[in-house]
Amino acid sequence: MGRARHWREECGVVGIAGCAGAAELTSLALHALQHRGQESAGITVADGHTLATHKRMGLVADVFDESTVKVLGGTSAIGHVRYSTTGTSNLRNAQPIQVTSHRGSLALAHNGNLINAHVLRRLMEQEGSIFSTTSDSEIILHLMARSRAERVEDALAEALAQVQGAYSLVVLTKDKLVAARDPLGFRPLCLGRFQDSYVVCSESCALDIMGGRYQRDIEPGEMVILGEGELASRRLAPRGRERRCVFEHIYFSRPDSMVFGRNVEKIRRRCGEILGREAPAAADLVCAVPDSSNTAALGYARAAGLPFELALIRNHYVGRTFISPAQKVRDMSVRIKFNPVAEVLAGQRVVVVDDSIVRGTTMRKLVKLFRAAGAAEVHLRIASPPITNPCYYGIDTPVRKELIASSHSVDEIATYLRVDSLRYLSLEGLLEATGEAEQYCTACFTGAYPIDFAEHVEKNVFDLQTETREVPAPAPGGERS
């Protein structure tokens, strides 16, 4: 299918405490969070005595069916959908990660990236620790296992005091569910209710699907301990300036979600409106690169006083498709996914709105499709600033040199893409749309990283250190303890 048009999504997490049918509700929630990771899905349930985990490579619908969730049962559960940010994509890195330690069985599901995980792991391995995954998330379980604290929440607090980076996570024991968010709040995590039970999830759309109610965000630096209808909260760090990932609003999160306490659709639409104000174009119509840019394009069209048209149709049902090298040369990878509507485009001056440009290779092919469909002019408007730096906090980005804006001016990019004009939303415009400029991470646009990191850290850092060869995933069957 060629390279992704966007940065890959990260992960989605959910936890439900003290509720009959916990596995079923968790699988529903994972369906709603599917956009955050499509490589693997998993659920761990607790019934007051034991934990049971079922996880597989694939989409939620492939991993869980009616009988699987029925067999899992449980009265509390955590769930995870994964796109790998550290560690390769394979079953042993799928989450939740369930382990057994002196404090009994524990399971963890994590969204984010720990920037000092490689240092901690090397130290622990030198001291004799044995790791079973190449995921940074396993470090937290090891640190918890080493803690002498009696209560799981105290052990988790000790572990989290030693890690740096981004985490929104849930931990399950046989009788407790604990959720925590890093002090800078890079990744979202919200709290809601389903009937009398508490639910934590990456985005509020996971609450909507089960008929739950959004209550508030888990605060950056907050830990919540959930039991049957009970919630206790404690602070892991004093509340200070936050560094929420602004890309959650630009692209990652669903527009119907509340993320960082704000509706994503509203912010995305506002980005389009401000872009329309900052970068108008003499054109006949506005269209989006669906689906992630629809809302911004609507905002742009409204601000520019131009009609919004569905001029590019996306095929939602394309899975893995074999394309021969010869076909790739003829841009088949983009044609399979997108089809322009010639009847709408013929002879028209078109504004195409997209949410971001990473490498530019897909957009170049799309522009070619627009021209072939008869567009008289193509004016490209991007509803975020140029991406010049990679992310180290849980988003799988290409290395800097592959980001087209890291080494090319806007004019050079316009020439490469063969558009009549190209304009990006300004950083000020983006932050104006969020309404809380000071609280966001914008490092991929500015290079101003909120936490120092070792530049050489790679996504597969632990795989590079291991001599283990991955074998294909085993036949179906759960992991239980």
Report, as residue numbers or ranges, the catalytic residues.
Answer: 11
Q: Which long-range contacts (CB under 8 A, 24 or more apart) does 155-161 make?
A: 155/103, 156/180, 156/223, 157/223, 157/234, 157/236, 160/223, 160/236, 161/236
Per-residue binding string, ligand SF4, 434-473, x by CB under 6 A, is -------xxxx-----------------------------
> Minimum Å distance from CB 36 to ligand SF4?
13
CB nearer to ligand SF4: give 53 or 442. Answer: 442
The tokens for 226 are: 């959930």
Per-residue binding string, ligand SF4, 335-374, x by CB under 6 A, is ----------------------------------------
Could you say whether residue 167 binds ligand SF4 (CB under 6 A)?
Answer: no
> Minimum Å distance from CB 23 to ligand SF4?
31
Query: How far apart are the C-alpha atoms of 241 and 204, rounded to whole Å?
Result: 23
CB nearer to ligand SF4: give 308 or 393. Answer: 393
Could you say whether residue 301 binds ligand SF4 (CB under 6 A)?
Answer: no
Query: How far apart are the C-alpha atoms of 453 and 115, rounded to whole Å?
Result: 6
Query: How far apart are the C-alpha atoms of 6 and 226, rounded to whole Å?
Result: 36
Could you say whether residue 189 binds ligand SF4 (CB under 6 A)?
Answer: no
Three-state SS at 396: strand
Query: How far apart are the C-alpha atoms of 428 and 11, rounded to whole Å?
Result: 28
Sign (positive/negative) of CA torsion 293, 447, 119, 161?
Answer: negative
Give the E-state strand segments of 121-241 in sequence order.
168-172, 177-181, 190-194, 197-201, 213-217, 222-227, 230-235
Q: What is the DSSP letter of 103?
A: T
Give the E-state strand segments of 152-212 in sequence order.
168-172, 177-181, 190-194, 197-201
Query: How far apart are the C-alpha atoms of 394 and 220, rounded to whole Å?
Result: 16
Three-state SS at 15: strand
On whether the CB atoms of residues 265 and 412 are closer than 8 A, the answer is no
Query: How far apart are the C-alpha atoms of 430 and 443, rounded to whole Å?
Result: 13
CB nearer to ligand SF4: give 164 or 442. Answer: 442
Residue whose token pair is 């283990």: 468
Within 302-331, the residues that bind ligand SF4 by CB under 6 A are none
Q: Which long-range contacts (CB under 8 A, 24 or more apart) does 469-474 make?
A: 470/88, 470/90, 470/92, 473/56, 473/57, 473/90, 473/91, 474/91
> Minimum Å distance from CB 242 to ligand SF4?
11
> Which stretch, 80-88, 151-159, 244-252, 373-381, contacts ligand SF4 (CB under 6 A)?
244-252
Could you say whether residue 395 binds ligand SF4 (CB under 6 A)?
Answer: yes
> Which stretch, 241-249, 313-321, 338-346, 467-475, contacts ligand SF4 (CB under 6 A)?
241-249
Among 91, 141, 225, 391, which residue sits at the site for ligand SF4 (rule: CB under 6 A)?
A: 391
Cβ-Cβ contacts under 8 Å for 330 (sequence gap 6 or more): none
> Minimum Å distance from CB 446 to ligand SF4?
9
> Minimum Å distance from CB 392 to ligand SF4?
7
> Minimum Å distance from CB 185 to ligand SF4?
10
Within 91-150, the residues that bind ligand SF4 by CB under 6 A are none
Q: How far is CA 201 from CA 139, 160, 164, in A?
A: 22, 19, 21
Task: Count CA within 13 A, CB hemisphere, residue 72.
Answer: 33
Among 245, 283, 312, 358, which residue sits at the site for ligand SF4 (rule: CB under 6 A)?
A: 245
> Minimum Å distance from CB 458 to ligand SF4?
16
Could you say whether residue 274 binds ligand SF4 (CB under 6 A)?
Answer: no
Size of the site for ligand SF4 (CB under 6 A): 11
On whether the CB atoms of residues 99 and 157 are closer than 8 A, the answer is no
Could you say whether residue 164 binds ligand SF4 (CB under 6 A)?
Answer: no
CB nearer to ligand SF4: give 148 or 456. Answer: 456
CB nearer to ligand SF4: give 186 or 462. Answer: 186
Among 167, 186, 260, 462, which residue sits at the site for ligand SF4 (rule: CB under 6 A)?
A: 186
Per-residue binding string, ligand SF4, 41-80, x by CB under 6 A, is ----------------------------------------
> Minimum Å distance from CB 447 to ligand SF4?
9
Among 64, 83, 214, 247, which residue sits at the site for ligand SF4 (rule: CB under 6 A)?
A: 247
> Minimum Å distance from CB 16 to ligand SF4?
27
CB count within 10 Å of CB 138 equals 24
Residues that bind ligand SF4 (CB under 6 A): 186, 245-247, 391, 393, 395, 441-444
